[in-house]
Structure 1
């Protein structure tokens, strides 16, 4: 009886270790809570959302508990919000695993290359030593038969080295192919790490990096480094009235307009988060940034929306834009704050307009 209990305890311990220190019953309970939550909120339990909610109920990550808890307090949560939270809190974990795997593969390939070149070098050194001895032998054994034997051996060495070079080339070609595959994987992961999943625009991480890069260069009085903060007006109402699918289509359509307008003037657009977007633009003329903001606003305002499911007229959807320009004393955080303040001024003034930040007098 004691042995059976011991076996059961060992099994329980094994299960707890496999589930991060939790018993199987606890894990099962967390799974049920996660699925119930998704069903209650009308969310599809796709892997990123499931992982985020699971960790929320698990309670070990204070940042996830606070972030998701705050989102729930604000009202009904949407899939894109949870996906963004997953990207914020857990996305780096996924990237770390991916980059760690690639790093291991790269290390293995470099080791393989080192082995190939080392073997080739060792063979060449041995052959060179033997050739030196053979050449010396030509002077000490001048008979025809000896010379014929030495010449045959020299020919064998040349053939062997040719084969070694051929094998080395084949090995290097294979390694080159594997390294090219690793390069493509790295490009894919870097692109994914910096791209918003819904709109295919650069994400907050990419925008932060772009701003940091901009401010790493000296301030240029002749250039106007401009930041636009853009928010879709009454977006929550659109979602609540017409559904999240319509809301996602609005985000994608606006992203398309934003991308097209920015391409015309070599500006850098991205999704700041939720229904808020951002544009980084350097221009020679002070009015160019405001002109770009107006182009974006009027293009989007000109669309007439209908719900695809039943053809119900949604009407017009507008955006508000806040604009701030870099000064000699500003930094990325200051510029973003100023653009955000201008955006709120545009909303306070009635929305569907562009406002440029003006320092307090």
Structure 2
């Protein structure tokens, strides 16, 4: 006798209980989205999300509502987008198959028309053909020509409709692709976009022998700020940093991303350490120079500061090791007092700042 459904139910109860425990111990909020994130974490079916959660909790001790929203958008809603993309791909395939069927019908019709013309031409060549038979042949040719013309017009109209349909599907697919790579709150790239760009830049750097640099940014005391003024104001801070990044990063091919709760990254292909550090300093000083105002009351909330770490790819670096070294510089900047930029020449060996 099978106990499959009972085992599945029991496992769900265990995962649910574990999810509540994790939400109680590590989460500042108890929302349906928080439960969904922790349930998925407890199930172990999304290792990339689990790695992101471990990184956030190791650094901050908890997950903020902003963290939950980001994780949900990236790892749960992202799967919804994948399903939608599959559905649109199926529609596109069906549309192409319909076009191919119409083309095959047209080809068969044209071939039959050609065979008919050949047979009729042989009849005309026959010297014994009577005037009446000749009239029948001409009538048949006219009728067949009309049929082929009508078929071609139908195919042409169908092709125009399909072209419009395929163009619409293409635009929808592109929008879905961009949505799957975009952080909904800031409009920057999300973690998936960041990781993809970093891997691509490191591969290109290795192949072409050109430098690639990475800047990682963390908002100072963001949790304390969030707890004091609320998540809506915290979101305003995140958007502020994103705006400043867009204003001060103009390198071609640069990728700007929010890849964690209050963590941002800038991937800079074709950029050496000195230039990358200058970009980081421009971002830092611009953020520090902005005064944050609470929109609902006009109350001044003071200054926001950020800490930044900068590293440039070495010969033996891959995307992971480059990110680790930039992170080490960031943590060194935090320990040195925050509101500063440190690159790998200033932060000391990796073991000293990890």
TM range, smaller chain: 0.7 to 0.9
Matched, 1:130 2:116: yes
The answer on whether the counterparts of 2:66 and 2:231 sit within 8 Å (CA) in structure 1 is no
Matched, 1:84 2:73: no
* Structure 2, unpaired ranges of 5+: none
* Structure 1, unpaired ranges of 5+: 1-15
Matched, 1:210 2:197: yes
The answer on whether the counterparts of 1:227 and 1:279 sit within 8 Å (CA) in structure 2 is yes
The correspondence for 1:164, drawn from 151, 165, 173, is 151
The answer on whether the counterparts of 2:272 and 2:312 sit within 8 Å (CA) in structure 1 is no
The correspondence for 2:94, drawn from 108, 111, 132, is 108
Instruction: Give the corresponding residue for 1:119.
Output: 105
RMSD: 3.5
In the superposition, relative to structure 1, how do residues 62 and 106 fare at CA in structure 2: closer, same or farther (>3 Å)?
A: closer
Matched, 1:300 2:287: yes
- 2:256 counterpart SS class: strand
Distance 2:118 2:339 in 1: 86
Alignment of structure 1 residues 42-53 onto 2, 5 Å: 45=32, 51-52=36-37
In the superposition, relative to structure 1, how do residues 337 and 75 fare at CA in structure 2: closer, same or farther (>3 Å)?
A: closer
Instruction: Give the corresponding residue for 2:80.
Output: 94
The answer on whether the counterparts of 2:202 and 2:313 sit within 8 Å (CA) in structure 1 is no
The 10-residue stretch of structure 1 (212-221 or 339-348) with the greater mean CA deviation from structure 2:
212-221
What's the CA shift for 1:126? 1.0
Instruction: Give the corresponding residue for 1:229.
Output: 216
Give CA deviations for 1:233-264 in whole Å, capped at 9, x if unaligned: 11111101111111000001110110121136
The 10-residue stretch of structure 1 (162-171 or 89-98) with the greater mean CA deviation from structure 2:
89-98
The answer on whether the counterparts of 2:205 and 2:269 sit within 8 Å (CA) in structure 1 is no
Distance 1:69 1:211 in 2: 20
What's the CA shift for 1:307? 2.2
The answer on whether the counterparts of 2:254 and 2:269 sit within 8 Å (CA) in structure 1 is yes
Distance 1:266 1:239 in 2: 33
Distance 1:352 1:49 in 2: 31
Alignment of structure 1 residues 328-339 onto 2, 5 Å: 328-339=315-326
The answer on whether the counterparts of 2:110 and 2:148 sit within 8 Å (CA) in structure 1 is yes
Give CA deviations for 1:150-197 in whole Å, capped at 9, x if unaligned: 112111111111111100001111111111121111101110110011
Distance 1:152 1:250 in 2: 80
The correspondence for 1:257, drawn from 210, 231, 244, is 244
Give CA deviations for 1:285-319 in whole Å, capped at 9, x if unaligned: 64211111111001110011222333333111101
Give CA deviations for 1:256-291 in whole Å, capped at 9, x if unaligned: 110121136653211121111000113466421111
In the superposition, relative to structure 1, how do residues 213 and 88 fare at CA in structure 2: closer, same or farther (>3 Å)?
A: same
In the superposition, relative to structure 1, how do residues 225 and 246 fare at CA in structure 2: closer, same or farther (>3 Å)?
A: same
The answer on whether the counterparts of 2:64 and 2:223 sit within 8 Å (CA) in structure 1 is no
The answer on whether the counterparts of 1:202 and 1:270 sit within 8 Å (CA) in structure 2 is yes
The 10-residue stretch of structure 1 (180-189 or 140-149) with the greater mean CA deviation from structure 2:
140-149
Number of matched residues? 334
Give CA deviations for 1:203-232 in whole Å, capped at 9, x if unaligned: 110111111111222537874311001111
In the superposition, relative to structure 1, how do residues 213 and 152 fare at CA in structure 2: closer, same or farther (>3 Å)?
A: same
- 1:287 counterpart SS class: helix
Distance 2:214 2:196 in 1: 14
Distance 2:308 2:183 in 1: 20
Instruction: Give the corresponding residue for 1:342.
Output: 329
TM score, norm. by length of structure 2: 0.82
Higher RCO (C-alpha 8 Å, min separation 6):
2
Distance 2:43 2:211 in 1: 46
